[in-house]
Structure 1
């Protein structure tokens, strides 16, 4: 699988899941433009987003979520 990786990484950040996803797509478009400027082909990418409910939430993040929720 690693042999199929395109040689760069993308990340998205935000205060909500949707903001992070939107930011990821912006990063993809920016990377695509950079590849175009350098005369490189940009690979076709497909994203699949999953939320893992079993992943432990770090204590600091849990406290922030509880403060926002209250």
Structure 2
């Protein structure tokens, strides 16, 4: 999972960074840093995203395929 995947999951839920961070029990600055590419997506953050939003590897793979084919406008 990379920064664009995190952003795609957040946008797909129509959430602001603040709301997304609150749902994950992290700070908004953490989400901003991850989405901005200034901080890697930690293992714990991946787990929280999967638990809270039900996103598994299949969703991440679909996002990656869409990015690769330029069909996901981020």
Q: TM-score range by the shorter chain?
A: under 0.3
Higher normalized helix content (fraction of residues): 2
TM-score by length of 1: 0.23
**Larger Rg over CA atoms:** 1
Instruction: Using CA pairs under 8 Å that are at least 6 residues apart, name the structure with larger relative contact order, 1 or 2.
Output: 2
When normalised by structure 2's length, the TM-score is 0.22
